[in-house]
Amino acid sequence: MTTQPQWWQGAAIYQIYPRSFLDTTGNGVGDLAGITRKLDYVAELGVDAIWISPFVQSPMKDYGYDVSDYRAVDPLFGQQGDVQVLFDEAHKRGLKVLMDQVLSHTSDQHPWFAESKLSRDNPKADWYVWADAAPDGGPPNNWLSVFGGPSWQWSPWRSQYYLHNFLREQPDLNFHNPDVQEAMLDVCRYWLDLGADGFRLDVCAFYFHDRQLRDNPPEPEAPRGAHFQFNPYSHQRHTRDIGQPENLGFLERLRALIDEYEDRVLLGEMHQENYAQLHRDYTAPGRLHLAYGYDLLGAETLDAGVVRASVEKLGHADDDGWPCWAMDNHDFTRTPTRCGVEDEPDAAVVALAALTCLRGASCLYQGSELALPEAQLDFEDLQDPYGKEFWPAYKGRDGARTPMPWKAEEPHGGFSEADPWLPVPPAHARLAVDVQDTQPGSPLNRVRAFLDWRRTEPALRTGSMVIHDAPDGVLAFTRDDGRGPVFCAFNLASEGTCLDLGHAVSGDALDGHGFGCHADDSGIHLPAWGAWFGRPPGAQAEGTRA
């Protein structure tokens, strides 16, 4: 059991989507040099690490999540030397750097696939998942692609089908082949040697498939949430195509590699099938350090009960891997729009504050600190293949991927001198960094102040957590690292409320965090989207341990 806290326990991780952060070359696409140029901005937010979405070579069918060379930087983003500069400059500022690693599949333009498809007996023949047609000529089984339709594509080269869990241009690697596992470990070793502090593992439950290619059973429950209702993928229980037990063995091999280096971390993206058990299995000792799922990313309301349920579902011993919490990323509609609080900038601030105070790490997505709403795009603007496939029932992921607005009065929000790959909406330009910089009460400055204060309270990073019963709309808990417990109460509602849990629980008010609340004999008065932090005078009160 580890006795000293690790940097990733309670880390605030800032996700950067490189295509949309800052363009320094005038081609309308963000690049690695743009990230390096803005590292001071990131460091001043008070985060501990950055996670960079894929920047390796890719034909960009799925915007970097279709890799054609795992070791080469795509020319859109710069050169190989730009990575080393970025790593070095980030480390000078005390920032760790996590790379997005897409190990489950490649591009169909990867040399491995180009060789694999040529015949059934070449050296790479078994590097991808190939299968003969069913007796009627159809796909081998009923598996479905996340991006729509069957997850099998016929190849006349081999007169066989190959598996693709996403686009047909993204064939799945065959992790049952030991050579594939070794190749993936070598890829990770390459980037660790260059200075990467770890990896965010894209869809890390997708590595292995059922060897027997058995059908998935139907999903007996109706899909939850509008995001899933338009896609037949959600009508199956994905017990055969993903989440196989062999995944755990490979993660243990990857963890053993990571542990050869100092202070490196594995952050896994989990799917939602049997999520609580999956999370416990994947973050058990010797596997992932951190993992996150879609509970809060898909939540359609800022509901304290939903957050509490997610926390309690993932509660586990302190020596296991930790949860990672996220409400925004490049795949989901931005929180202010998804949760109906676009006109309530304080809601975005309190949600982010609550997220970073939960036991576990947290991921902030670029623009969340500005309280950016989802960009409303026309079909003609879309680049996302997922959005194009399911339009108009689903408008895709591009609304969360539009360029970062840096300067309100400059063309394209100061992101690029050229027309950007996605437009910068006027609503985002009005919330640009240079505007919010000058406003003491802006979301940006409040987030900076809060994360800076959070650094002064170690309990909020590594302490245990006890949840307290509270009125509807309020999330209340105590974090305690044995040195200085902190009581936290967040009003995730548009109306004020009064909280009275007693002085022994809530303690004396702490200041410096930027939330203005007051207490009297009747309790703590929490305004709409308000928060309270106190120092309990004695031992931690009884409650639900998470």
Strand partners for 265:
198
Burial of 3 (0-12, 13-18, 19+ CB in 10 A): exposed
Residues with Cβ within 8 Å of residue 334, at least 6 apart in sequence: 328, 365, 367, 368, 372, 373, 374, 399, 400
Q: 3-state DSSP call for residue 73?
A: strand
464-545: CATH superfamily: Golgi alpha-mannosidase II (2.60.40.1180)
Q: What is the pLDDT of residue 540?
A: 46
Q: For the domain with range 12-104+178-211+240-400+437-454, which CATH number is right: 2.20.28.160, 3.40.140.10, 3.20.20.80, 2.40.170.20? A: 3.20.20.80
pLDDT of residue 276: 86
Torsion of CA 98, 253, 314, 165, to 10 degrees: 80
Q: DSSP letters along 375-427, please?
A: P---GGG---HHHHHHTTT---SGGGTSPP---TTSGGGGS-SSPPSS---HH
The three-class DSSP label of residue 280 is helix
Catalytic residues: 202, 260
The reply to whether 12-104+178-211+240-400+437-454 and 464-545 are identical in fold is: no
Residue owning tokens 């974090």: 479
Q: What DSSP character marks residue 310?
A: H
pLDDT at 541: 45
What is residue 368's DSSP assignment? G
Q: What's the confidence (pLDDT) of residue 517?
A: 87
DSSP reduced 3-state for 526: strand
- 409 phi and psi, to 5 degrees? -95, -5
pLDDT at 5: 84
Sequence-ordered list of residues with C-beta below 8 angstroms from that of 529, at least 6 positions apart, any chain: 344, 346, 347, 349, 350, 491, 492, 493, 494
Sequence-separated (6 or more) residues with CB below 8 Å from residue 182: none
- H helices of 70-121, in order, are 80-92, 111-116
**How far apart are alpha carbons 329 and 344 in whole angstroms?**
20
Per-residue pLDDT at 1? 39
Q: Could you state, in order of their start, the residue ranges of all structural domains in the chain?
A: 12-104+178-211+240-400+437-454, 464-545
Widest Cα–Cα separation across the chain: 79
**Structure token pair of residue 309:** 């349920």
Within 261-321, strands assigned E span 265-269, 290-292
Identify the burial level of 407 via C-beta atoms within 10 angstroms of its C-beta, where 0-12 means exposed, 13-18 middle and 19 or more buried: middle
Task: Give me the tens of pLDDT residue by residue for the chain, a chain 546 residues long.
Answer: 346 789 999 999 999 999 999 999 999 999 999 999 999 999 999 999 999 999 999 999 999 999 999 999 999 999 999 999 999 999 999 999 999 999 999 999 999 999 999 999 999 999 999 999 999 999 999 999 999 999 999 999 999 999 999 999 999 999 999 999 999 999 999 999 999 999 999 999 999 999 999 999 998 875 555 445 678 998 899 999 999 999 999 999 999 999 999 999 999 999 877 788 899 999 999 999 999 999 899 999 999 999 999 999 886 555 557 999 999 999 999 999 999 999 999 999 999 999 999 999 999 999 999 999 999 999 999 999 999 999 998 889 999 999 999 999 999 999 999 999 999 999 999 999 999 999 999 999 999 999 999 999 999 999 999 999 999 999 999 999 998 999 999 999 999 999 999 988 999 999 999 998 889 999 999 999 999 999 998 644 445 556
Cβ atoms of 336 and 342 closer than 8 Å: yes
